[in-house]
Structures are given as C-alpha cells and as structure tokens.
C-alpha cells in the first residue's frame, strides 16, 4: 500500500511538471507576439503615411491638429462646437483647449509637416474664447436720445450693420462679439450697446429670478468681478421695480454661487459687469451692458460750462442738420465747445470711443490683442487736417477758455477750432456759405431781455448769412416767432429730460420773414 501510494504520487507530480510541454507553450506565444509586433509596426507606418497625406490635403487628421495654425483659422473653427458646449465654464480660461485640440481643423497650412509642440496648444487656448464670441450672433439694442432713432439707424447701417432698425428710444440690430466692439468704438449717437442674453415671459417677480438663474452669466463674468444691475420698464404690472431688480440680482448670484462656489460683490459706482433688466407688460429681457459709462462720455470733457449739451446729442444735431464736414461751421453761442469738438472729430474721422475704456474690456476672456488691432486700424484712418474752418463765439471769456482746454483734452491741435470772445448779434459770417448750428441760451442764462436779443440776432442772420443753413436747438418752442423766421423743419428732441426742438432755417434773401 505504501509503495503503491508513493508511485502514484510520483507519476502525478511528473505529469504536472512536463518541461517539454511548458517550453512549447512558452515558445508559441513568443512567436505569435513577434508577428503581432510586426503587424502593428506595419499598421503604424501605414497610419503615419495616411496622416501625412491628409495633413497635406484638408488637414482633418488629429496630428494635423497639433500644428501651429493661423489665428483666424483657429478662431473660426474653434467656436463651431461652442453652441453645444453649454456646460463649459469660462472661469477656467484654458478649459476649452482640450476640446479645441481634439476637433479636426477645417484648414491647415499645405506644406508644413506635422509635429508636436506645446506652443500651438497654448495659442489655441487663448484664442478659443475670442473666436467663440466673434462667431456667435447676438441681438443688440442701442439706446439713444429720443428723436435720434432714425439718425442712429442710418449711422449703424453705414457701419455695416445692415439690419439696424429704429425702435423706441434706440435701435435694434445683430452683430457678433467683434461687431459689438466696433459699435462701441464708432457710434456717435448711441448711449450704450446692450447685448441681449435672455428673454422670456414673466408674470411674477419669481419668474425674473428663474430667468436670471438660467442665463449663462459664467460666460462673461464670475465671482472675481463686481456687479451692478439696473432695471427699467414700460407698462409693466410689477409693483416694485426695485424688488424686480433684487430678484434679477439674486438669480445671477445664485447661479454663480452654485457653479463656482462664490458670488460677485456689488459695486454701483464702477462695476466690472453691468446687467440691464427691461420689463414690458408680459416679458423680461436681460442685457449685458458692454459699454460701461454712457457713450456720450467721450473721455475729454472736464469743464461742462453752463447748460451743457451731451456729446451724442450734439453729434445727432449735426446729423439731422445735414452738415457737410467739408463746409464751414459756426456756433455763435459755443459755450464749452461741445458741438464744434464733435464736428471736428467727425470731419477728421476720429472714432467717438477711441480715448475711453469700455465695460467689455473687464469681462472674462477679453482678447486685448484683437481690441488693440481694431483701435490701431481706426487710428490709421484719422485725418490730420480739416478742410474748412470751425468757429466758436461766446460772450463769456471763461467759456471760451474752457472750450480751448476741452479742445486740448480732445487731442485736437489748438488751431483746429477758432474760438473768439464776441457777440452773436454782431458776428460776421466766416465764409460765403456754410452751417450755423447752435444751442443758444434762454431763461436764466439770458442777461438781457430775450425778445430784443432774438430780434437783433435774427437781423444779423438776415443781413450777413444769406445762403447759410441754420440749426437751433432750444426748449423755447416760441423761438421761431421771436426770430420772425419760419422753420423749414423741426425735430422733437430731448436734452436729458428737457423737451426741446431742433429748428432748421434756410437763410435766403428776403429771409423767412412772416
């Protein structure tokens, strides 16, 4: 029994440890592995050849994606996926880079061999946010002084915004992110450029909260920026606009706190981000204010003088008066020189916003290089000399001195505008023909009896300004009767909250005497 058991154990161990079988089984996988490596090597060579062919063709292979590409190409393609990528958080400025790298490019350089470097990826990460904003088309509202809607629509159309349509106290048009920047830079008549980010039906204040909470504010600002919210309404049934304003603010802050763990601070003086809530009878619209301070603040005025006129209204008066920038212009009640400085900028082609900052410069992913390129191009088209004289006259020497200082702050040469202390009742015409456009004094600003003053000025116009076009803005609706002239046209305008009229007269022999 014992010997037999030992024999069976020996045979069993012998079967388990069969050396020839083990070597055979080891050798077979090794041969198969070598063949597999050879096949894999051949496949890699073929894939490499295909990559080279595709890279030299339409550049759709992933390796071609790693090559440095011209910035415009990276911009135009990187945004094509943005509408579907709603979960991306702009707080991480490089977050869009992996998706941009993984997406095939539509265009590449024809002759460049593929190579892998870190620099192109960094370049694409910084460019991707700019292309996203530039490619997306936004609905935009540009408010302006009442009465200038048609003139603003014409201005925007000249700037290339062909769908600009006048509305109530402003114009509607569509543009991409770069177009929004151009509108801020060039528009002389708009008060702000408001980019629509949300619109919906509202019947209760909580509907405003929900609308604000669903809007992707993280695309433009976050907890690191300060915030201000303003609310306006037309025929809204809401009981308190202040409470509506608070609901919108709460919705914005709630969303940012949920997504990024903190909320922005409130700054009502100089915020980084401004949001406007506009309410109607049954709807609410949320706008991102891309301008910041009102656009009529050009950045040069420090001395306003008495009864100043806003810069965008001055530009609008020039537009409504059909002033030809190649023709002389006289303002016999020039005050601090606003109308004449605006006229000089128009004649020289100086963009209205060239010397001022904008709110969009403080938003997330602002492309400073692209913005600098836009301004450099604008500066390259500024003319250096005026074709015709611009003349300002005022009785007050202090006003003339303030006007000269404003000219210097507006980056104009001292001889751009000729300022003189003088009396409008005795001021001669500086040229045989031209335009006289002015905002004369009235009421408490008049140091003498206004009836006698207007008669004397009208007599000077009739005697010395034959062939001139005259435009006068005033809140005194009886001014034509005092001048004893019949206006050719009259435009209702508002200088702030002041109801005014722009009266246009054509001075011909025999005048428009009644």
**150 and 202 together in one domain:** yes
Specify the pLDDT at position 25: 42
Question: Among residues of the chain, what percentage have pLDDT more than 70?
Answer: 71
Is 154 inside any structural domain? yes
In this structure, the chain runs to a length of: 514
Q: Which residues pair with 498 in a beta bridge?
A: 495
Is 183 inside any structural domain? yes
* Helix (H/G/I), strand (E/B), else coil: 214: coil
> What CATH number is associated with residue 235?
3.30.2130.30
Q: How far apart are CA 234 and CA 232, in angstroms?
A: 7
> What CATH number is associated with residue 497?
3.40.50.150
Which tens digits make up the pLDDT trace of 45-86?
777 677 666 655 544 444 434 333 333 333 333 333 333 333
Whether the pLDDT of residue 389 is over 90: the answer is: yes
Alpha helices in 143-240 (DSSP H): 149-158, 177-186, 205-213
Instruction: Tell me how many domains the chain contains.
Output: 2
**424 and 278 together in one domain:** no
Specify the pLDDT at position 293: 94
Is 347 inside any structural domain? yes
Residue 233: both structure tokens together: 């309404």
Is 179 inside any structural domain? yes
**269 and 393 together in one domain:** no
Residue 207: both structure tokens together: 């509907």
DSSP 104: P
Whether the pLDDT of residue 110 is over 50: the answer is: no
Is 192 inside any structural domain? yes
Q: How far apart are CA 360 and CA 415, in angstroms?
A: 35
Specify the pLDDT at position 56: 55
Range of the domain at 349: 311-356+383-507
**326 and 209 together in one domain:** no
**212 and 350 together in one domain:** no
Which tens digits make up the pLDDT trace of 394-419?
999 999 999 999 999 999 999 999 99
Residue 385: both structure tokens together: 């000399």
Q: Note the pTM of the prediction, 2 decimals.
A: 0.72
Is 37 inside any structural domain? no
Specify the pLDDT at position 197: 98
Specify the pLDDT at position 61: 40
Specify the pLDDT at position 447: 53
Q: How far apart are CA 312 and CA 290, in angstroms?
A: 17
**455 and 486 together in one domain:** yes
**157 and 227 together in one domain:** yes
Is 413 inside any structural domain? yes
Specify the pLDDT at position 213: 97
Q: How far apart are CA 39 and CA 32, in angstroms?
A: 11
Tell me what the pLDDT averaged over the chain comes to: 80
Specify the pLDDT at position 53: 66
- Give, for 363, the enclosing helix (H) or strand (E): none
- Give, for 250, the enclosing helix (H) or strand (E): helix 241-260
Least confident of 88-97, 319-328, 336-345: 88-97
Whether the pLDDT of residue 97 is over 50: the answer is: no
**390 and 456 together in one domain:** yes
Residue 320: both structure tokens together: 């409504």
Strand blocks (E) in 290-333: 329-331
């Amino acid at each position: 029994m014992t010997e037999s058991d030992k024999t069976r154990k020996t045979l069993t161990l012998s079967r388990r440890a069969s050396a020839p079988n083990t070597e055979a089984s080891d050798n077979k996988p090794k041969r198969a592995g070598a063949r597999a490596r050879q096949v894999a090597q051949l496949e890699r060579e073929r894939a490499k050849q295909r990559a080279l062919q595709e890279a030299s063709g339409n550049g759709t292979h992933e390796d071609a994606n790693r090559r440095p590409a011209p910035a415009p190409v990276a911009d135009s393609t990187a945004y094509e996926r943005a509408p579907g990528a709603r979960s991306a958080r702009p707080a991480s400025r490089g977050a869009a880079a992996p998706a941009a790298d993984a997406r095939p490019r539509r265009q590449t350089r024809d002759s460049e061999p593929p190579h892998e470097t870190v620099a192109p990826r960094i370049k694409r990460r910084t460019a991707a946010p700019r292309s996203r904003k530039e490619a997306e088309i936004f609905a935009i509202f540009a408010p302006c002084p009442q009465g200038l809607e048609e003139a603003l629509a014409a201005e925007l159309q000249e700037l290339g915004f062909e769908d600009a349509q006048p509305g109530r106290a402003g114009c509607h048009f569509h543009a991409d992110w770069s177009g929004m920047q151009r509108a801020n830079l060039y528009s002389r008549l708009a008060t702000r450029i408001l980019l629509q980010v949300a619109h919906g039906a509202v019947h209760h204040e909580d509907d405003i909260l929900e609308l604000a909470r669903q809007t992707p504010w993280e695309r433009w600002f976050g907890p690191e920026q300060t915030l201000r919210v303003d609310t306006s309404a037309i025929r809204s049934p809401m009981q308190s606009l202040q409470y509506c304003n608070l609901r919108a603010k709460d919705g914005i802050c709630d969303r940012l706190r949920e997504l990024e763990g903190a909320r922005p601070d409130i700054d009502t003086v100089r915020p980084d981000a401004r949001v406007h809530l506009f309410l109607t009878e049954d709807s609410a619209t949320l706008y991102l204010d891309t301008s910041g301070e009102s656009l009529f603040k050009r950045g040069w005025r420090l001395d306003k003088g008495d009864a100043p006129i806003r810069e965008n209204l001055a530009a609008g008066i020039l537009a409504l008066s059909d002033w030809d920038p190649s023709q002389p212009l006289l303002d016999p009640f020039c005050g601090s020189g606003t109308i004449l400085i605006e006229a000089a900028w128009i004649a020289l082609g100086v963009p209205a916003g060239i010397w001022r900052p904008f709110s969009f410069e403080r938003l997330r992913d602002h492309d400073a290089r692209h913005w600098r390129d836009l301004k450099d191009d604008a500066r390259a088209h500024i003319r250096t000399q005026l074709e015709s004289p611009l003349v300002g006259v005022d009785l007050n020497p202090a006003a003339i001195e303030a006007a000269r200082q404003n000219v210097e702050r507006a980056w104009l040469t001292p001889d751009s505008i000729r300022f003189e202390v003088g009396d409008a009742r005795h001021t001669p015409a500086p040229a045989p023909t031209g335009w006289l456009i002015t905002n004369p004094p009235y009421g408490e600003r008049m140091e003498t009896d206004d009836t006698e003053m207007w008669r004397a000025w009208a007599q000077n116009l009739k005697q010395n300004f034959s062939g001139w076009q005259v435009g006068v803005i005033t809140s005194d609706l009886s001014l034509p009767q005092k001048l004893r002239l019949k206006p050719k046209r009259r435009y209702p305008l508002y200088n702030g909250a002041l109801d005014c009229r722009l009266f246009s007269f054509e001075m011909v022999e025999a005048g428009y005497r009644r």
